A and B are shown apart, each in its own frame.
Chain A
Amino acid sequence: MSRSSLWLSLVVLALPFTGVTFLIYETVGFNWSELNDEAWRASLAVTLYVTLTSTLLSLMIGTWLARTIYMKRSSWLASLLKWPMFVPHVAAAYLFYLLFSGGFPVYGLFEANERNHLVVILTYVWKEVPFVFLMVVGTYGQLNHGYLDMAKTLQLKPLEQFRVAEWPFLVKPLLDSFWVLVAFISFAYEVPALLGVTFPELLGVLAYERLTTGLFLNAFESYAVALIWTLFIFTGVVASYALTAKQRRRIERGMRR
């Protein structure tokens, strides 16, 4: 039973890698200086800004909520936090679009389709906080309370308590969530297409538009950007996991009872 499903899974999971291989094949002989135009440069800057802001905010708020809910045992908030997970990203984007595109009291303070992409960030944070919460709350569930008690007995400041008794165990789930979110947010179409502006566009939106408009004449630009971005994130993943490997392994050994 498990063997046949393993083979099917392997075939399915090999497809993204096949896709990347085809991208490499297609971009051989591509003139890379074509990417050095204003639209792509502005897009890179705004993509980094939106991705990092929403990812870091989601990680911080998600961890804070997991911590609060674990400490205060408020199960009603934990179940309420599941709600955004039932809303697909597209639907969430449209709901925020309805609220922030005029006619609502907060209009003017926050606004859809403006250059700072605040509503895009807000949508992502709203959608991703429950995901981060889910990734982190398990760690809090199996946290050894002895470490925290020890830190308190040694009269460390609250921030120091967090750093020695909780942070080391959070590194792995937070690192996993960080890269999942960065990979997802930095190269997506659905949310920024509804809530963004025509200049500067996020990488995913610009790449999709260059790919599909004008009889595929600019398709190679999009292929090249998709390839570089994948390799960039891949390098980041490998580097950060290699750097934290020693620490994570020590924690994993210590956690096993």
Chain B
Amino acid sequence: MSRILVAFLIVFPFIGLFLTFPTSFSWDEAILNTIAYVISIALVNVWLGVGTAWWLLFTESRWKSWVEWLTFLPLFIPVLASMFGMYIALAQVGLIGTYTGVGLVLLVTTLPYSIRLAYNAMYVIGRPLLEQALTFAPLARIGFVLLPLLKESVRTIVLFSTVIVLSQFVLVQLIGAGLIPTVTTRLYQAYAGNDVSQALQNTWVLVSLPVLFYIGLGGIFSIWIRLVKGRLQ
């Protein structure tokens, strides 16, 4: 009984999505920016996350515990607070108001989570299985062993970085100096202007992008795994 109550509490906020239907969908600069950022940040996160986790698990180095702390600590620094500092720092090198600057700070907020997720997943898979992959050339190692084994965690990394990127308003507004529109910044403008249908259209985009990426990635992975398994016969 209590489980049904919990299920209801999880689902009920989604009712808000159907209160007013978005009138017309317009394909504009904000949506393109958002999709470009989501895809590039997710790709870099998977690459750097898995690579760093690999180093943390398999390399003997006296710097290891330091690196572990460095990857762990940023989770405990309030994003907005360190963002004020990065704002001053990036202003010195002229990255305020540029696409590169915004991309960089979006990467800063997502990477610690990705390294953590990749590390935990590879720790569970275990050293013996991953060590056998070392005989392959790098590309084959990634394609035939790492990605199929890490399927679920790659999906989780992409999901986490997508959702975090889509949540950032202040970061994009401050570092982008208001020059780089995304769906999130549009949502705040529409909200301030009391434009419910515009705001709701943006909310729809924000909710459906992570779902589409998650399902799409799952599909691509299962096709790839079937192809790889076909090589065994």
**Which A positions have Cβ atoms within 8 angstroms of B?**
1-6, 8-10, 12-23, 26, 65, 68, 72, 74, 77, 80-81, 83-92, 94-99, 126, 138, 179-180, 183-184, 186-190, 193-194, 204, 207-208, 211-212, 222-223, 226-227, 229-230, 233-234, 237
Set A81, A183, A189, A190: member contacting B77, Cβ < 8 A: A183
Is the Cβ of B51 less than 8 Å from the Cβ of A233?
no
Is the Cβ of A88 less than 8 Å from the Cβ of B167?
yes
Bound: A254/B139 CA distance, A: 39
Is the Cβ of A95 less than 8 Å from the Cβ of B167?
no
Set B13, B50, B107, B196: member contacting A96, Cβ < 8 A: B13
Q: Which residues of A contact B74 (CB under 8 A)?
A: 13, 16-17
Is the Cβ of B7 less than 8 Å from the Cβ of A77?
yes
Minimum CB distance partner of A141 in chain B: B124
Given contacts A91-B203, A193-B188, A226-B78, could you give 14 more A-B pairs where the C-beta distance is less than 8 Å?
Answer: A2-B58, A15-B89, A15-B105, A16-B74, A19-B83, A19-B86, A26-B85, A83-B10, A94-B199, A98-B16, A204-B170, A207-B80, A226-B85, A233-B76
Set A8, A84, A208: member contacting B170, Cβ < 8 A: A208
Is the Cβ of A186 less than 8 Å from the Cβ of B78?
yes
List 7 A-B residue pairs with CB atoms under 8 Å apart, sorted by A's residue number: A1-B138, A13-B71, A19-B83, A77-B7, A94-B191, A189-B80, A233-B77
Q: Which residues of A contact B199 (CB under 8 A)?
A: 94
Is the Cβ of A12 less than 8 Å from the Cβ of B48?
yes
Set A15, A83, A222: member contacting B11, Cβ < 8 A: A83
Set A5, A95, A188, A222: member contacting B48, Cβ < 8 A: A5
Is the Cβ of A3 less than 8 Å from the Cβ of B55?
yes
Bound: A5/B58 CA distance, A: 14
Shortest distance between the CB of A232 and any CB in chain B (Å)? 10
Minimum CB distance partner of B85 in chain A: A19
Binding-face segment, B23-31, B206-214, B225-233: B206-214
Is the Cβ of B210 less than 8 Å from the Cβ of A190?
no
**Which B positions have Cβ atoms within 8 angstroms of A?**
2-3, 6-7, 9-17, 19, 47-48, 50-52, 54-55, 58-59, 67, 70-71, 73-89, 104-105, 107-108, 111-112, 115, 120, 138, 159, 163-164, 166-170, 174, 184, 187-188, 191, 196, 199-200, 203, 206-207, 210-211, 214
Is the Cβ of A18 less than 8 Å from the Cβ of B77?
no
Bound: A92/B213 CA distance, A: 19
Bound: A5/B71 CA distance, A: 13
Q: Which residues of A contact B13 (CB under 8 A)?
A: 84, 87, 92, 95-96, 99, 126
Bound: A81/B6 CA distance, A: 9
Set A86, A94, A230, A237: member contacting B81, Cβ < 8 A: A230
Is the Cβ of B89 less than 8 Å from the Cβ of A19?
yes
Bound: A75/B6 CA distance, A: 14
Is the Cβ of B10 less than 8 Å from the Cβ of A229?
no
Bound: A22/B83 CA distance, A: 11
Minimum CB distance partner of B205 in chain A: A91
Is the Cβ of A229 less than 8 Å from the Cβ of B115?
no
Q: Which residues of A contact B87 (CB under 8 A)?
A: 19
Given known A-B contacts A22-B89, A91-B166, A16 and B108 have beta carbons under 8 A apart:
yes
Given known A-B contacts A233-B77, A233-B78, A2 and B70 have beta carbons under 8 A apart:
no
Bound: A6/B59 CA distance, A: 11
Q: Which residues of B contact A22 (CB under 8 A)?
A: 85-86, 88-89
Q: Which 6 A-B pairs have the closest CB atoms?
A: A5-B51, A19-B85, A187-B78, A95-B16, A226-B81, A19-B86
Minimum CB distance partner of A96 in chain B: B13
Shortest distance between the CB of A94 and any CB in chain B (Å)? 5
Q: Which residues of A contact B16 (CB under 8 A)?
A: 94-96, 98-99
Most buried by B among A2, A22, A86, A91: A91
